């Protein structure tokens, strides 16, 4: 067979071969989510923040401060567990920015941007994978609480609704840390800045203590803190009540965070050099 005939057959094969359809945004986002989850298989230390830290905080605050704050550890557990659930998941959102910054520093970020896919897919996929991490953290906190003596008086639907509300807020909060991850140069800087922002927001809330014991000016700030509103809503749902006002405000705060920070994230993502 001559070289010309070979080239003719090759061209015919290439022309006649149907190109596979381009994947849509949902498919590519799920692919990147699966990629992020596979990283946990090979680096299980990534689950340290959703396994060790909630256990440590729960045991420490229950047995070191429970008696002083509520009179007994069993009584304090009923107040603490919904708050620990909120704190654990909120702290876990930092990982979104840290992981994104790692991809940037390793050059993976640039390879993703060169692919013929929906451009936000790597970010959305990472956020979906992080939502799975939030669910793992939530389940660990609830199981640990039940073992220690936490007894929610609400139905299982109330507990699930509380966890779902926490996941919605955490998903929206993650967009802040994607912005930080795109701006800062190192993952250590992302972690440091993120924790500096989160500590006052979480500790100046009603997670650990009743705001009624605080000075008036601080109580006002704590009561309007979105983390406090989220904690109050979760406590109510797990207690068999519906804190309608707090739930609405949490959903509004979540929507505002996404409306502000998701466009900023996409702008930085497209223009990152």
pLDDT tier, 163 (very low <50, low <70, confident <90, very high otherwise): very high
Asked whether the predicted pLDDT for residue 43 surpasses 80, the reply is no
- The residue behind tokens 């923040």 is 49
Q: Quick: pLDDT tens for 226-259.
A: 999 999 999 999 988 878 899 999 999 999 999 9
Q: State CA 88 to chain mean position distance.
A: 10
Both tokens of 32, joined, read 């990147």
SS3 of 129, please?
helix
Report the C-alpha gap between 121 and 89 in whole angstroms: 23
Count of all residues that appear for the chain in the document: 273
pLDDT tier, 15 (very low <50, low <70, confident <90, very high otherwise): low
Q: What pLDDT is stored for residue 256 in this prediction?
A: 96
Both tokens of 124, joined, read 């959305």
Helices (H), the chain: 3-16, 25-42, 48-60, 66-70, 73-92, 94-106, 108-113, 121-148, 156-183, 187-203, 216-224, 226-238, 244-271
Domain boundaries, the chain: 23-271
Q: Quick: pLDDT tens for 183-202.
A: 988 888 988 898 898 988 98
Q: State CA 31 to chain mean position distance.
A: 18
Alpha-carbon torsion angle 93, 98, 102, 104, nearest 10:
90
Asked whether the predicted pLDDT for residue 214 surpasses 90, the reply is no
């Amino acid at each position: 067979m001559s070289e010309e005939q070979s080239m003719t057959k090759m061209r015919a094969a290439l022309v006649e071969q149907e190109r596979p359809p381009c994947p849509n945004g949902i498919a590519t986002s799920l692919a990147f989510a699966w990629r992020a989850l596979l990283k946990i298989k090979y680096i299980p230390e990534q689950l340290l923040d959703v396994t060790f830290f909630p256990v440590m905080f729960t045991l420490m605050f229950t047995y070191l401060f429970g008696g002083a704050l509520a009179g007994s550890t069993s009584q304090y557990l009923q107040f603490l567990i919904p708050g620990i659930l909120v704190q654990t998941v909120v702290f876990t959102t930092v990982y979104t920015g840290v992981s994104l910054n790692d991809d940037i520093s390793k050059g993976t970020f640039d390879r993703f941007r060169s692919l013929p896919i929906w451009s936000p897919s790597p970010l959305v996929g990472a956020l979906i994978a992080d939502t799975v991490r939030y669910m793992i953290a939530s389940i660990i906190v609830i199981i640990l609480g039940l073992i220690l003596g936490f007894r929610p008086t609400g139905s299982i639907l109330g507990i699930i609704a509380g966890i779902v509300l926490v996941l919605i807020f955490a998903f929206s909060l993650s967009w802040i840390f994607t912005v930080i991850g795109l701006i800062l140069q190192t993952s250590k800087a992302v972690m440091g800045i993120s924790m500096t922002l989160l500590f006052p927001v979480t500790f100046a809330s009603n997670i650990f203590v009743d705001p009624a014991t605080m000075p008036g000016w601080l109580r006002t700030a704590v009561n309007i803190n979105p983390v406090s509103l989220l904690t109050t809503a979760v406590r109510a749902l797990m207690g068999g009540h519906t804190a309608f006002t707090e739930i609405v405000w949490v959903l509004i705060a979540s929507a505002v965070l996404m409306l502000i920070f998701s466009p900023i994230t996409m702008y930085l993502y497209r223009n990152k050099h």
